[in-house]
A and B are shown apart, each in its own frame.
Chain A
Amino acid sequence: MTQSPTLSRRSTPSAPSQPRKSRQRGADARAGYTFLLPWLLGFIALTVGPMISSLYLSFTNYNLFDPPKWIGLDNYATLFQDERFLGSVGVTLSYVVFGTPLKLAAALAVAMLLNSARKGQGFYRSAFYAPSLIGASVSIAIVWKAMFGDSGPVDQGLSFFGINLGGWVGNPSMTMPMMILLTVWQFGAPMVIFLAGLKQIPADLYEAASMDGAGPVRKFFNITWPMLSPVIFFNLLMETIHAFQIFASAYIISNGEGGPAGSTLFYTLYLYLRGFSDFRMGYASAMAWLLVIVVGIITLIFFKTSKSWVHYSGDSK
């Protein structure tokens, strides 16, 4: 706000009009903030406030009922001796590390297929996007559970080909592939963003490459990938953060327990169980803050390394 008079002075050479412009700008800013106010109040009251109080609670033994008592770093120290916590970290990391790249690969592949103009394009785009609209819903998790259960369609389909895995839902070594398939299937959102990015790549680049005799693989790695790299970076970042937050599907598929044998005990699910089943809200707050910090660090690493592989148009590289 304080900058606006300076800005207007620089941009408007004629002196007489200055005060009126400035007043106009001040009024605009006021109107802007007025319109922002409902969101801002909500943001402070519903997001910032609880975050600060949870930071405080993470240093206490708060149990939902009794007034919290300060215990310093005890919660954070106990975390690393808690086998279930370490288990949940392992489960979540393998989900992020395997699920996210697979999801992005699927999204990119389908986006490239849909990029070329052909009949019924609109239909295909909608059809591939639909799962990500309904994917986070409770009903899909229930359907997923039924599909991968004993004698469910997946079990029967695989049996037809002589593969007898039984139900995936109850098998500790098959639940992770099942959860990853669920997230890969919801590739619609990154796909749409990829599609928009692909449209931005000038066609003449491909034409020139064709004339120089480049094949599709070469074109992909030398044109599509670098030209799309900001979009890839954006999607990678968003999907990674998103993957760390997986909760609802795991909660429903494992009946809120993180089973079988802890194989779907994702970080946020354990956090929830600690807070709301065991009444260890201080502990759960510590877990939440640790997650914020770790995701923050991972984001930072992504940004640092991005310089070497993300190319923005106009860069000298």
Chain B
Amino acid sequence: MINRRNFLTTVALGTASAAVLAACGSPAPAQTGSAENPVTINYTWWGNDDRAERTRKAIALFESKNPDIKVNGNFTDFAGYWQKRATEAAGGGLPDVMQWDLSYLRDYGQRNQLLDLGTVKINTDAFDKSLLPSGQIRGKTYGIPTSTNAFAVYYDPAKLASLGIAEPDGTWTYKEYNAFLAEVGAKSNGALFGGTDYTGIWWMFNIWLRQNNIEAFTEDGKLGFAKDDLKKWWNQTAALRGTPAIVSEERVTQLAPKSPFGSNVSATESTWDNFMAAYLGDSGAKELKLVPVPSDDKDNLGLFLKPSMLMVASAKTKFKDAAARFIDFMVNDPEVGQIFKTSRGVPASKTQRDGTTFEGTDKLVVDYEKSIEKYLKDAPEPPIVGFGTLETSFKRISSDLNFGKLTVDGAADAWFKEAEDLIKQNA
């Protein structure tokens, strides 16, 4: 006889035991797939819609060439990207393959979260040998760069022409650059800002330090510069803050995560040269050009090629082979180069670079990296553990500076306090 209680108990027990049995009895997932029964790997990256579109095309191409692997793609913007990865790492569930930045390579690599790519089959023959060490820590390869980026100042020639301002030729001192920013603000009557406060960008500071022959970090992971250097840097634009030369921090905040330059609010922006595609897409401008960053020493621009958009795999991935094949494809395949052009930077692998035709604005990026070749120095080592946090706080404190919440001295104190605390924490 079935009464209600017995029935419910039976159902409950049945469900519970089914779950337990399923947990115990299911075979380990297959390491390799087949065309009928493909394995699925997760791939995640940061970027805007433009990159998402290109990545989807690359994934579709990969899947058509590798019917035994499906790639499940996912993306966010840069800031949210790292919070998500931290959450996943804590739970042991990092995606199989990820786009990675040098800033966070030590944080995850040294803490055994990333797969040593030296243990899987990825062809790196076509890479410049000076480039690979930046993805390596203590002899293990954690990341393979897809491309190289150089820092540059972007400008919109059409906007400058409409204001009657001559295009910069890229040989400028900081004083000249400041004057240029001020001129844009003045001639447009504040309708167009000169550019964002470049002193709020960590890499501009880093380049300026290198122009003065200072390394940002010492080999033993300490700060290589003094508080006075930072004060001097932040004082560089003191006279411009609050004027139309510099995008007001109110606007920067409201536009985030979009950039003022991509939103047609400013005439220039200093950033990595791979932003060309994103800026063109965001702003709708016909043409954007790029020139070297300012320097007070015209023989030392402090520039370097940063290996970027590294491909990494999770140390816990169950599909090492599939992950390796996807990484190999993304860094080496010439057709992938054709899809991304320079939107990840100039392809690092010679196979991919030679297989890509660069035209129009993409050619500008490639030409730019060629034009600065003679100024290039070695890329810095993978930055210290916790560097991503320092980069974020650099931006935040500089923003407080622009809001007038902090003085330059107060800002330098605040950043040094946070940096020293962080270095002590990770020592």
Contact = CB atoms under 8 A, between A and B. Distances in A.
Interface of A: 31, 34, 61, 63-66, 83, 149-150, 166-167, 169-172, 254-257, 259-262, 272-273, 276-281
Contacts of B134: none
Contacts of A273: 83
B249 A260 contact: yes
B253 interface: yes
A273 B251 CA distance: 23
Given A65-B113, A257-B79, A277-B83, A262 B400 contact: yes
A162 to B, nearest CB: 20
Contact of B251 (A65, A170, A254, A278): A170
A248 to B, nearest CB: 13
A279 B112 CA distance: 15
Given A61-B425, A257-B79, A262-B405, A83 B250 contact: no
A172 B403 contact: yes
B386 A169 contact: no
B35 interface: no
B414 interface: yes
Nearest to B250: A170
Interface in B41-99: 79-80, 82-83, 86-87, 89-90
Chain B interface residue number, banded: 35 or more
Given A61-B425, A276-B83, A276-B86, A150 B254 contact: yes
Interface of B: 5, 9, 79-80, 82-83, 86-87, 89-90, 107-108, 111-113, 248-254, 256-257, 386, 388-389, 392, 396, 399-400, 403, 405, 414, 422, 425-426
A279 B107 contact: yes
Instruction: Please report whether the interface of chain B is mostly helix, strand, loop or mixed according to DSSP.
Output: helix
Contact of B250 (A167, A256, A262, A279): A167
A31 B5 contact: yes
Nearest to A275: B86
Contacts of B254: 149-150, 167, 169-170
Contact of A257 (B87, B396, B414): B396
Contacts of A61: 425
A255 B79 contact: yes
Contact of A259 (B89, B107, B386, B399): B399
A64 B405 contact: no
Nearest to B405: A261
28 contacts: A64-B86, A65-B108, A65-B111, A66-B111, A83-B414, A167-B254, A169-B253, A170-B248, A172-B403, A172-B405, A255-B79, A255-B253, A255-B256, A255-B257, A256-B79, A257-B79, A257-B256, A257-B396, A259-B253, A260-B249, A261-B405, A262-B405, A277-B82, A277-B86, A278-B386, A278-B389, A278-B422, A281-B90
Interface centre among B254, B388, B396 (most CB of A within 10 A): B254
A273 B82 CA distance: 11
Contact of A166 (B5, B82, B250, B422): B250
Contacts of B386: 278-279
9 nearest A-B residue pairs (beta carbon): A170-B250, A65-B111, A170-B253, A261-B403, A170-B254, A260-B253, A64-B90, A276-B83, A261-B405
A31 B405 CA distance: 62
A250 to B, nearest CB: 13
Contact of B403 (A65, A150, A260): A260
Contacts of A278: 386, 389, 422
A252 to B, nearest CB: 10
Contacts of A149: 254
Given A150-B251, A150-B254, A262-B405, A279 B79 contact: no
